Amino acid sequence: MSMKISQAVQQVRSLVTGSLVDEVSVLAHQYEAASDTTLTLKYPKRALAVGSTICVGLNTFQVMATDASGTIIDVIPSMDGGPNEDAALGSIVYVRPYLTTFAAFREISNEVQGISSRHTGLFAVWEYVVTALNRQSGTYPLDGLSPIGTVPFRLLRFEYRYAGTTTWQQSTDAELQTFSNTLRVFQDPPGAIEYRFSLAVPYGQVVSLDQTFDDIGITAAQSNIPCLGAASTMALGWAGRRQQPFSQGDSRRATEVPGGGIVQLSQQLRRAQQENVNDEVARLQARYSYRQPAISGQSAYGRYGTYGGWR
């Protein structure tokens, strides 16, 4: 089953904070972004101080005032640049979270876009089947047809099939014209009734916690790659916070987390991501028999390459 983006956010939290657990409550009433300036909690949080951060879904709020019971809270939304969205009754409220949901969501989105291009080596594979053959011009426009809304950047394989058979024959007489987002078949195989084009397509956009990785072209085997990268970036930010001269809410003593330990965690996460990227690139190359173009000063896998960019 494909991982949801909300599950990926939780995985990033777990990778970065380990056994640390956020304090939570739930909404006792629906929050309407267009009109509400308060949140009502089902479980009181008397220690919730003015200036604290809480998050509900992708919403990040700053607490401006609380009532005596600790259940009604005046808030200002979008405090970390995130959206101000409606939140349903019963939604989980993270109180003074170690990592806000939107921060982890943003880094996952950045990783998805960063690892998918003609240079980094990872992509979704779109198999586009054509039954209405254009034997006159041999061209097949692709605008608006991609199942994940992105434009293909490479033709991986061109195949055709004859009537009465289930076997696909391979041919090199086709190309992807990227300037016009059009496929062109140079020589029509006589008697062919169907074409199948395998295309490399960048991953789609991460826009919602309810999306699955399948929705944007990431397979189950690739789903841990953006999580590891996002956790690596978040861990570096966590390390920076621990160096600031005020309390960060981390109850562990300095002797329990040695200096540089979180930086080492970030590096380990990035190395684990790199190993997964290399494995997936090798699998794609073996399946579709193409060569990845190298970039000057980097490996064939771009900024996620073994010898370039992240280490």
End-to-end CA distance of the chain: give it in Å, rounded: 31
pLDDT tens-place string over residues 201-229: 999 999 999 999 999 999 999 999 999 99
Q: What CATH number does the domain containing 68 carry?
A: 2.40.30.10
Report yes or no on 51 lying in a domain.
yes
* Chain mean position to CA 28: 31
Whether residues 92 and 152 fall in one domain:
no
Split into its structural domains, the chain has a count of 2
Q: Of 169, 201, 233, which residue constitutes the final position of a domain?
A: 201
- pLDDT value of residue 259: 53
Report yes or no on 219 lying in a domain.
no
Report yes or no on 298 lying in a domain.
no
Report yes or no on 268 lying in a domain.
no
- pLDDT value of residue 307: 27
Report yes or no on 156 lying in a domain.
yes
Judged against a pLDDT cut of 50, whether residue 42 lies above it is answered with yes
Report yes or no on 158 lying in a domain.
yes
Report yes or no on 5 lying in a domain.
no
Whether residues 83 and 145 fall in one domain:
no
pLDDT tens-place string over residues 185-197: 999 888 999 999 9
Nearest to 232 by CA among 258, 265, 276, 199: 265
Nearest to 8 by CA among 190, 211, 188, 193: 211
Tokens standing for residue 21: 């657990």
Whether residues 173 and 130 fall in one domain:
yes
Q: Are strands 154-162 and 192-201 parallel, antiparallel or unpaired?
A: antiparallel
Please give the single-letter amino acid code of residue 115: I
Whether residues 129 and 196 fall in one domain:
yes
User: What is the number of alpha carbons within 13 Å of residue 116 lying toward its C-beta?
Assistant: 28
Whether residues 34 and 87 fall in one domain:
yes
Tokens standing for residue 124: 């979704």
Judged against a pLDDT cut of 70, whether residue 38 lies above it is answered with yes
Q: Which domain holds residue 82?
A: 21-97
Q: What stretch of H or E contains 173?
A: none
- Residue-wise over 153-178: b if at least 16 C-beta within 10 A, else e? bbbbbbbbbeeeeeeeeebeebebee
Whether residues 134 and 194 fall in one domain:
yes
Q: Of 157, 183, 201, which residue constitutes the final position of a domain?
A: 201
Please give the single-letter amino acid code of residue 216: I
| 242 within 8 A of 256, measured Cβ to Cβ | no
Q: Of 201, 236, 255, which residue constitutes the final position of a domain?
A: 201
Whether residues 128 and 88 fall in one domain:
no
Report yes or no on 269 lying in a domain.
no
pTM over 0.85: no
Whether residues 140 and 93 fall in one domain:
no
